[in-house]
Amino acid sequence: MTAFPQSLFDLSGRTALVTGASSGLGQHFAQTLARAGAEVVLAARSVDKLEAAVQGIRQAGGKASAVSLDVTDRDSVCAALDAVGAPDILVNNAGVSGTKRPLDYTDADWDWVLDTDLKGAWMTAQETARRLVAARRPGSLINITSILASRVTGLLTPYAAAKAGLSHLTRALALELARYQIRVNSIAPGYFITGINREQLTGEEGEKFKLRIPTRRFGEYPDLDGPLLLLASDAGRHMTGAELVVDGGHLVSAL
Ligand SMILES: NC(=O)c1ccc[n+]([C@@H]2O[C@H](COP(=O)([O-])OP(=O)(O)OC[C@H]3O[C@@H](n4cnc5c(N)ncnc54)[C@H](OP(=O)(O)O)[C@@H]3O)[C@@H](O)[C@H]2O)c1
């Protein structure tokens, strides 16, 4: 019998860039990739928070560094990638969201969300792919979408539109970049408590909200580890254009 590989998910020797790694899911993604052996670069605008996270990863035995990045600014995206080099793995995680009724959103609100969640992810993926292709190296790009890419809820109109765009961008890029051995997939999280939604998901309202989720709980950060490592590593080597939903069944519920 052929021995099963020690770890299909081993990322030793790979580099990974995680955008929006100064807090929440992005910071956890960086820690997870480092634990799997990757050398991770944590990117966001809050460099002080990144540096603290880098220290934590290093103290745990991982390899990490930080780079300042504003995904809404192409010069900043290029400068960050030029500083760290093209990563083998990109986690396009930076995101923002506001809550208003559709009649109240301003153009500035719309641009803030779309420029970060969709255009920012596009520019970061494009500049990463350009550098990987020039270096003739394969890669894995992972976009963090949302279940709101497929279903909708109140007050989040631009966010839902941006995430639906990012979900479809994933498939469009997967088609075009396959010839360069660059895989492009997405993870669609359900509800995980982070800075982006803490107000909505805690307290009495949060408890009511939980009843809409078939598993009756919010996601816990480690719930995302398996899907992330599957897409990042050779375990998912024939996967491209896929979206992994991690939501406790929320998307298949009627509520
Ligand atoms: N939490 C959930 O339930 C949930 C569900 C589905 C999808 N998601 C998605 O998961 C991703 C992470 O969100 P989160 O919940 O972890 O929220 P979070 O804690 O607020 O993290 C958002 C991250 O994005 C970064 N960011 C925002 N604007 C940026 C910009 N212009 N350039 C670079 N980085 C920027 C922030 O860092 P700086 O402010 O330091 O730049 C921060 O690190 C988002 O794409 C979000 O839409 C979250």
**Ligand 1 centre distance from Cα of residue 124 (Å):** 15
Q: Is the CB of 25 under 6 A from ligand 1?
A: yes
5 inside domain: no
Nearest CA to ligand 1 atom 45: 95
CATH number at residue 217: 3.40.50.720
- Give the closest residue (by CA) to ligand 1 atom 25: 20
Distance CA 243, CA 55 (A): 32
Is 135 inside a domain boundary? yes
Instruction: Give the residue, 155 or 4, on which the prediction is more confident.
Output: 155
Q: Would you say residue 252 lies in a domain?
A: no
Please list, in sequence order, all residues whose beta carbon lies within 8 angstroms of the beta carbon of residue 111, skipping any fewer than 6 positions away: none
Cα 196 to ligand 1 centroid, rounded to whole Å: 7
Note whether residue 241 is domain-resident.
yes
Told to judge if 159 belongs to the known catalytic residues of this protein, a careful annotator would answer: yes
Range of the domain at 28: 15-245
**Average pLDDT, whole number, for the chain?**
96
> Can you list the pairs that 154-160 forms with residues at least 24 positions away whose Cβ atoms lie under 8 Å?
155/99, 155/100, 155/101, 156/97, 156/99, 157/102, 157/105, 158/98, 158/105, 158/109, 158/110, 158/113, 158/114, 159/97, 159/98, 159/113, 159/117
Instruction: Kindly state whether residue 251 falls inside one of the protein's structural domains.
Output: no
**Is the CB of residue 98 less than 8 Å from the CB of residue 159?**
yes
Average confidence (pLDDT) over 164-170: 99
Mean pLDDT, range 102-106, rounded to an integer:
98
Whether 2 is in a domain gets the answer: no
* Percent with pLDDT over 70 in the chain: 98
Substitution site in 28, 74, 81, 93 for ligand 1 pocket (most atoms within 8 Å of beta carbon): 93
Please indicate, yes or no, if residue 20 is contained in any of the structural domains. Answer: yes
For the chain, what is the domain count? 1
Taking alpha carbons only, the member of 114, 96, 89, 113 closest to residue 184 is 89
89 found inside a domain = yes
Output the pTM of the full model. 0.98
Instruction: Kindly report, residue by residue over 37-85, the tens digit of the pLDDT.
Output: 999 999 999 999 999 999 999 999 999 999 999 999 999 999 999 999 9
